[in-house]
Each structure stands twice: as structure tokens, then as C-alpha cells.
Structure 1
Amino acid sequence: MRTPMFTHDLGGGLALALRDLSTVERMHDLTVKNLERLRSWEPWAHAEPDVEGLRAFTRQGMTAWVEGRSIPCVIVVDGVAVGAAGATIDDYAQTAELGYWIDADHEGRGAVSRAVSALLTELFHQRGIRRAEIRTGTENARSRAVAERLGFAHEGTLRAALQVGDARQDVAVYGLLAEP
């Protein structure tokens, strides 16, 4: 069994760290602060955030980490969590799906790209994953830019594939293969 230790120093005061119970209060506060913006893209943001629900979600992520099914992380700037990035892993298929979000005050500084890059290194070089995917709303220009900046190929669009609030959104599927 894997011990729950995972931190990547990304330089310049930026780090990627394992999301654990010590992050719950801060991530709750960030979620509340960014809720209206997140509701444009994230189905989970349409429920009212509460600390106990986030604590349960974090426990599930920690269990999945120990079992090797997930890498749940927070993006940290100068010791303070400012967002989340993670991967859900399918060992049988040797694939992973990545997701991320960041506080509005920290957008546009490269933190998400650097965090996702660190996750890709872990997935491809340490976990033996052969394919990574990012799925995002077609209108989510910032999320799509992260995928494109990191070399993911736009492989197609799934029509009306994601229910977000009262609307269905098209989803852009991006893929990146591990180098042979």
C-alpha cells in the first residue's frame, strides 16, 4: 500500500501537494469565493458547498490515492492552497483523466499548467500510464488553453455530454499519449 505522501515543488513558491483533511477548510473557502465562476463549468458547483460534504469528498480522494486510483492534489502558492488539480486513474486501461481549477485571483500565471505538467510526469514516468485525457466544456477557453499548451490533441467533441446546472454543454476531449 502506498503511503499518503506526495509533494512536487514547482519553483517560484508554487507546489502541488496531496489533498488531505488539513486542506478542507481552505478549499471550502476557495470554493465559496469562486462558486459563481465555477458554476459555469462544473456540475458539482451547483450544490451548496458545505464543510462536511467536502470533508467526505476529501476522505474518498485519500482512499482512492492509497488504492492507486487517484492523485487528488491542491495547488499551493507560498504555502497556501489556491486551487485543485488531480487525476483519476484506470490501471487496467493505463489511462488517466485530469481535472483542475484555480482561484480567480491566481488565473493566468501558469500555476495550473505547471501543476498538470507535474501530474503528467508522475502518471507517465512513475505510474506507467500510457494515455491522459482532459475533458472540458467547449466554451471553457482557459481550460482548453491548458490542454493545448501542454501538447494535448483535440480528439473530438461530445455533443451535449455534460449537464451543468440547467443546461447541457458540449465537451471537448483532449488526449496525450506517453512517449514510447
Structure 2
Amino acid sequence: MFYYQLDDRLTLRQLQMEDANALFMAVENSREQLWEWLPWIEATRSLSDCLAFIDLCLQGAKRRQSLNVGIFEERKLIGCINFNFIDWQNSSASIGYWLDPSYQKKGIMTSAVQVMIDYAFYTLRLNRVEIRASMHNKKSRAIPERLNFRHEGIIRQGEWLYDHYEDLAVYGLLAREWTHTHAF
């Protein structure tokens, strides 16, 4: 099971079934802000939705196709970061993330992304990590830019968001470009 102590109060840990209530509460507390950018918010309306999601996450992890990690402040779930899909044939993974707005602008997500990059390159031995974000989501785009990802292009109308398509900025980072000291 994935586990990493980020600092004295923050932990990254693979989501488990017993986290469903904490996940639901975190989504509820941030629903209005997350709704602007994340299409799955509408489908997350009950505890059973979170249980079903975590079950899918655990199945994906067991098959080594994905990894969904909670960001915890002590025992409180404050966000998630994940490898949406691990492409073993092409040795790459795509990272997605969200954080309770009251915890944003504190460097938490940047640190969490660094840990996931380390894990991708040093433990999983992948060659490429990708992050996609809406062209209009400046906060989400700031993270790969801060971590020296290369802006590789735009996927026009790449994501359906409730009632319209969003253009997605695509950022990529190769293992040989990553200079961070590894955590694993």
C-alpha cells in the first residue's frame, strides 16, 4: 500500500474503503469550488458514490493500472492525488489532483506532486509523467509550470464539463529531466 509522510502533519496514503466518509465530507466541503473544474463532482452525491469510487480505485491499484492517494492532515482528508492511468506499454502515467480550497496556496499540492513524480520515476521506473489541466485553471496549471514540466500543447475541446467543452493544456516531464532528490 502506498504511504508517504509528507511532513509532521501531512500524509499521503492510498485510499481505502474506510476513507469513504472522509472523502464524501471533503468533496461536500469543497463542492462549489471543485465543481468549476472537475466533471466527476456531479456524480459524487452520496456516501455510496464514494464507496463505489474507492472500490474502483482499489481494483485499479490491484491491476497496477492506477493509484489513488488521499492527502491527509492528521486524520482529515483534505484532497487527493492520483495516477489516473498507468500506461505500462509506454512507461507513462497521468497525474490528477484536487485540494480543499482552504488548504490551497500553502505548497501542499506541489509537494504531493513531487512525491508522486519521485514514485513514478524511481519506484515504478516510468519514463514520462503527464499533467492535463483546463486552459483556464491557472491554479492547477501553476503546479506543472513550477515543477519545470514542458508545456507540450493544447487538446482542443479535450474535456466535457457539464455543458461545454474545455481546452486542456498538456504538460509532460521525462525521467531524465527530473532533478528532484528522490523520496523512495
Output the TM-score relative to the length of structure 1: 0.93
* Deviation readout 1:9-68 (Å, 9 max, x if unpaired): 111311111111111101101111211111111111123521111111101111111221
Give the Cα separation in 2 of the matches to 1:175 and 1:155.
Answer: 7
Distance 1:58 1:46 in 2: 16
What does residue 124 of structure 2 align with? 127
Higher relative contact order at CA 8 Å, sep ≥6: structure 1 or structure 2? Answer: 1
Question: Counterparts of 1:37 and 1:171 in 2: how far apart (Å)?
Answer: 19
The reply to whether residue 142 of structure 1 matches residue 142 of structure 2 is: no
Percent same amino acid among aligned pairs?
30
**Contact 2:21-2:47 at 8 Å conserved across structures:** yes
Runs of 4+ in 1 over 2 A off after TM superposition: none
**Does residue 71 in structure 1 map to residue 62 in structure 2?**
no
Q: What residue is the counterpart of 2:25 in the other structure?
A: 29
**Equivalent residue letter for 2:32:** E
CA contact (8 A) 2:44 2:50 kept: no
Q: Give 1:105 shift.
A: 0.9
Q: How many residue pairs are counted as aligned between the two chains? A: 176
Q: TM-score, normalised by structure 2?
A: 0.91
Equivalent pair of 2:132/2:169 in contact (CA under 8 Å): yes
Question: Who is 1:95 aligned against?
Answer: 92
SS of structure 1 residue aligned to 2:6: strand
Alpha-carbon contact 2:20-2:50 (below 8 Å) kept: yes
Could you say which residue in structure 1 is the equivalent of 2:182?
none
CA RMSD in angstroms, aligned pairs only:
1.2
Q: 1:145 to 1:54 in 2, by over 3 A?
A: same
Correspondence for 1:46 among 42, 46, 65 = 42
After superposition, the C-alpha distances for 1:146-173 in whole angstroms (9 at most, x for unaligned) are 1111121111011111110111111000
